[in-house]
Chains A and B, each alone.
Chain A
Amino acid sequence: MSDEGSTQQVVEEMELEEVGEAQAGDSPEEVVIALSPAFGEEQLNRQTIHKLPHAAVLRELLAGIEEEGLEARLIRIYRTADVAFMGFDGAKLSGSGIAIGIQARGTTLIHQRELLPLAPLELFPQAPGLDLSNYRQIGKNAAQYAKGDSPSPVPQENDPMARPKWQAIASVFYIREVEFVDQDKKPVELKVSFEK
């Protein structure tokens, strides 16, 4: 997986176009990807906390879902930047009841409509430990949950020294993203086009 990833050219740029208010889907074949308010925004440099381009991350999530033969639907959440509630909002709109939530800093989870907002299926709290192949695997796992399977959770590194290195920087990143929150704005459907 990682070998394959490294030979591909990493996509650096994308266009995200808003195409109206996001509606609840009815296809059991779809997985929603709920982007945070500032994901892909110029002011946050369009990259995660450890400098993966947002475009590359999103393409891996999409590819993971497509590999499993399902469709991804892209939305943006404005009312919150809290990854749990974003993912939960996405799951409520997803035809399969499964959604991926992702923040600009790269923190990610897989959520399911029937669960409590703070208890997702899989949570990836340490974004600096995630590489592009992990994001593809997260996409695949989300799709497998949507098909009713029970995939093995995506393995993640537990680095006891992540706190001293990243905690403060992650806080600043989050605070900057919260500036993009609009509590009164409903989720919006997005179309993405990647640029070489």
Chain B
Amino acid sequence: MQAEEQDAGNKTQAKRHKRFEVLEKRDVNKDGFVKEWPEVGLIATGGPEDPEPSIKIEDGVIVEMDGKPRDDFDLLDHFIARYALNNDIAEEMMDLDAVEIARMLVDINVPRNKVLEVFSGITPAKMAAVLECMDVVEMMMAMRKMHARRTPSIQGHVTSVQDNPVQMVADAAEAGLYGFTELETTVGVLRYAPFNALALLVGGQTGRGGIITQDAVEEATELQLGLRGLTTYAETVSVYGTEDAFRQGDDTPWSKAFLASAYASRGVKMRFTSGTGAEVQMASAEGKSMLYLEIKCVMLSKGVGVQGLQNGSISCIGVPGSVPGGIRAVLAENLVTACLDLETASGNDQSFSHSPYRRTARTLMQMLPGTDLIFSGYSTVPNYDNMFAGSNFDCDDNDDYLLIQRDLKVDGGLVPVDEQDVIAVRNKAAQALQAVFEELGLPSITDEEIEAATYAHGSEDMPERDKVQDTQAADDMMERGVTGLDVVKALAKHGFEDIASNVLEMQKQRVSGDYLHTSAILSPDFKVIAAVNDLNDYEGPGTGYRLEGERWQKIADIRQALGPDDI
């Protein structure tokens, strides 16, 4: 080798090991990873500014919490001290060792109720200290006992990059066959929001009855859709773990509480959203760890009085996902939510990794122990159509997910479906929406669109709609004051009596309000299944939710398995 070449070689880089060159091309190395930067809060747990647990109560008032005197409390501290802690028992519970509380969480001989009592009397820093004692297997053991409703379930996303309502009504109906109990949509173009709501309302009651639906859009529009009976739950009301992050969103805990009560008072199911990583992403973490700040969000939600919380990092998953121990912290935040007796909608809802191994490992944390909603949600459409910027699993992963359930005998909320049944229900839903559009004077849905929606993989298989006409009609529909009852009438008039009856049942649910109880979902015949009548009673082997009987047979019976006669 010439000296000159050698010099040039030294300047560029050392000779590469071929295995490293192969590794660098693997999916996992398309993900971005960063080192911890504790001073700014880029750390999953144990931040340098995380306080030590403490509490002082005088005359029934908390005068010191986690080392901070009342005079130094910020908005969040005040709110938590006033509304999220049981002052009567706080001193007693704070006296327990963190490791002792962690053992209670894992111990099958300590009932769920006892743990709830302890958590009602401990501070954010104490909760962080308890979780610091636990590894992920112990946290899963604890989650098995602590999630509020005994029966696990799953929420799905139904969206379209073209905001195509015909595609979405069919997708919502298909999701019903798979077993989703909640469906959430959002838009590419805000003015399409009423059509998205309509598609999920009709499709969601076609595949099966009793699916609760949501349209995650700008707050005023979302509330109005709920009040009109076009949606039946709301969850994208975000809370943050520092005052500065709240201020950047132009909000306070009190304004969020007001919004929550606006929904609940009108019979719309309501939960908050938060997640690790949000504060550090906004450069507002104050040197505190992601988990510590998230615990404050969970306590805040408890203090507001909402029945549940969607967390598990959610849209910030790329942040905890990139630091050491981040996915453990994500499970920990779900667990804190369950320990405060809140419905736990545990994330898994955003693209997290290029690697199928990392994606699966991340989801097993919630899928194995079960949570109220393991995904919030699972993309029922291909990720290219997912307007929440992609989910951790999408419809192309359905068979993998069903097989993981069958392999491990774990109920992840889905059941295998028959292809011809899916085709039939998609067709029926699209026809039903055609009738509703006709009756409500909305731009017509053609037979060609119905045919395409019946067999479509995604929006690329759909004929284009006139978006100007659609969005003008959607504005007009809102101005005319169309409600859920108008949809019922339209369906009944065109012979879709069963769907009409189901949509009417959903309107009745808003009046009776029973599905506002913690962790409520509805069975296909509109029976409320909640932490009130289906309370998690897990106390070790032989108790709690067991996957058995008819349900297990359904999950076991996949279309791909060969019988003796097939061979």
Closest to B387 in A: A158
Which residues of A in the span 160-195 have a Cβ within 8 Å of any Cβ on B? 160-172, 174-175, 178
Interface size on A, residues (CB 8 A): 20
Structural contact, B321 and A175, CB atoms closer than 8 A: no
**Also in contact, A163 and B250, with CB within 8 A (given A171-B42, A171-B280, A175-B37):** no
**Interface locus among B49-57, B304-312, B349-357:** B349-357
Q: How far is the CB of A171 from chain B (nearest CB, A)?
A: 5
CA distance A169 to B390 in the complex (A): 19
10 further interface pairs, Cβ-Cβ under 8 Å (given A161-B30, A165-B31, A167-B321):
A118-B250, A160-B384, A160-B389, A164-B353, A164-B354, A165-B318, A165-B354, A166-B32, A167-B317, A174-B283
Residues of B within 8 A of A170 (CB): 281
Structural contact, A164 and B351, CB atoms closer than 8 A: yes
Interface centre among A81, A158, A163 (most CB of B within 10 A): A163
Q: How far is the CB of B179 from chain A (nearest CB, A)?
A: 24
Residues of A within 8 A of B34 (CB): 168-169, 172
Interface size on B, residues (CB 8 A): 33
CA distance A82 to B284 in the complex (A): 12
Residues of B within 8 A of A172 (CB): 34, 37, 42
CA distance A161 to B353 in the complex (A): 7
Structural contact, B384 and A171, CB atoms closer than 8 A: no
Which residues of B in the span 352-405 have a Cβ within 8 Å of any Cβ on A? 352-354, 383-384, 386, 389-390
Closest 3 CB pairs of A and B: A167-B318, A160-B390, A168-B322
Structural contact, A171 and B319, CB atoms closer than 8 A: yes
B33 an interface residue at 8 Å Cβ cutoff? yes
Closest to B379 in A: A160
CA distance A168 to B44 in the complex (A): 12
Structural contact, B31 and A164, CB atoms closer than 8 A: yes
Over the window 97-128 of chain A, the binary record of Cβ atoms lying under 8 Å from chain B Cβ atoms (1 yes, 0 no) is 00000000000000000000010000000000
Instruction: Report which of A158, A162, A167, A178 forms a contact with B283, defined as CB distance below 8 A.
Output: A178
B316 an interface residue at 8 Å Cβ cutoff? yes
Closest to A118 in B: B250
User: Could you list some 25 contacts between A and B, CB below 8 A?
Assistant: A82-B248, A160-B383, A160-B390, A161-B351, A161-B390, A162-B389, A163-B315, A163-B350, A164-B32, A164-B321, A165-B30, A166-B318, A167-B281, A167-B318, A167-B319, A167-B321, A169-B34, A169-B322, A171-B277, A171-B319, A172-B34, A174-B281, A175-B42, A175-B280, A178-B283
CA distance A100 to B351 in the complex (A): 30
Over the window 260-288 of chain B, the binary record of Cβ atoms lying under 8 Å from chain A Cβ atoms (1 yes, 0 no) is 00000000000000000100110100000
CA distance A169 to B32 in the complex (A): 7
Interface, chain A (partner B; CB < 8 A): 81-82, 118, 158, 160-172, 174-175, 178
Q: How far is the CB of A89 from chain B (nearest CB, A)?
A: 15
Residues of B within 8 A of A175 (CB): 37, 40, 42, 280, 283
B424 an interface residue at 8 Å Cβ cutoff? no
CA distance A168 to B389 in the complex (A): 16
Instruction: Report which of B32, B40, B383, B386 forms a contact with A167, defined as CB distance below 8 A.
Output: B32
Structural contact, B32 and A161, CB atoms closer than 8 A: no
Q: How far is the CB of A134 from chain B (nearest CB, A)?
A: 19
Residues of A within 8 A of B504 (CB): none
CA distance A157 to B10 in the complex (A): 39
CA distance A166 to B351 in the complex (A): 12
CA distance A167 to B34 in the complex (A): 10
Closest to B326 in A: A168
Structural contact, A158 and B389, CB atoms closer than 8 A: yes
B141 an interface residue at 8 Å Cβ cutoff? no
Instruction: Report which of B30, B383, B384, B386 forms a contact with A164, defined as CB distance below 8 A.
Output: B30
CA distance A169 to B42 in the complex (A): 11
CA distance A158 to B42 in the complex (A): 26
Residues of A within 8 A of B42 (CB): 168, 171-172, 175
Residues of A within 8 A of B281 (CB): 167, 170-171, 174
CA distance A164 to B351 in the complex (A): 7
B558 an interface residue at 8 Å Cβ cutoff? no
Q: How many A-B residue pairs have CB under 8 A?
A: 78
Residues of A within 8 A of B318 (CB): 163-168
CA distance A161 to B352 in the complex (A): 8
CA distance A142 to B386 in the complex (A): 29
Closest to A174 in B: B283
Closest to A177 in B: B283
Residues of B within 8 A of A167 (CB): 32, 281, 316-319, 321-322
CA distance A167 to B351 in the complex (A): 11
Q: How far is the CB of A3 from chain B (nearest CB, A)?
A: 28
Structural contact, B317 and A163, CB atoms closer than 8 A: yes
Closest to B394 in A: A160
Closest to A85 in B: B248
B440 an interface residue at 8 Å Cβ cutoff? no
Residues of A within 8 A of B383 (CB): 160
**Also in contact, A163 and B283, with CB within 8 A (given A169-B32, A172-B34, A172-B37):** no
Q: How far is the CB of A120 from chain B (nearest CB, A)?
A: 14
Structural contact, B33 and A168, CB atoms closer than 8 A: yes
Residues of B within 8 A of A178 (CB): 283
Instruction: Report which of A118, A161, A162, A168 forms a contact with B319, defined as CB distance below 8 A.
Output: A168
CA distance A160 to B30 in the complex (A): 13
Q: How far is the CB of A100 from chain B (nearest CB, A)?
A: 21
CA distance A172 to B39 in the complex (A): 12
CA distance A171 to B34 in the complex (A): 10
Residues of A within 8 A of B315 (CB): 163
Interface centre among A81, A172, A174 (most CB of B within 10 A): A172
B477 an interface residue at 8 Å Cβ cutoff? no
CA distance A174 to B283 in the complex (A): 7
Residues of B within 8 A of A174 (CB): 281, 283
CA distance A82 to B247 in the complex (A): 13
CA distance A158 to B323 in the complex (A): 25
CA distance A68 to B236 in the complex (A): 41
Residues of A within 8 A of B280 (CB): 171, 175
Residues of A within 8 A of B283 (CB): 81, 171, 174-175, 178
Over the window 215-244 of chain B, the binary record of Cβ atoms lying under 8 Å from chain A Cβ atoms (1 yes, 0 no) is 000000000000000000000000000000
Structural contact, A165 and B32, CB atoms closer than 8 A: yes
Closest to B353 in A: A164
CA distance A69 to B386 in the complex (A): 40
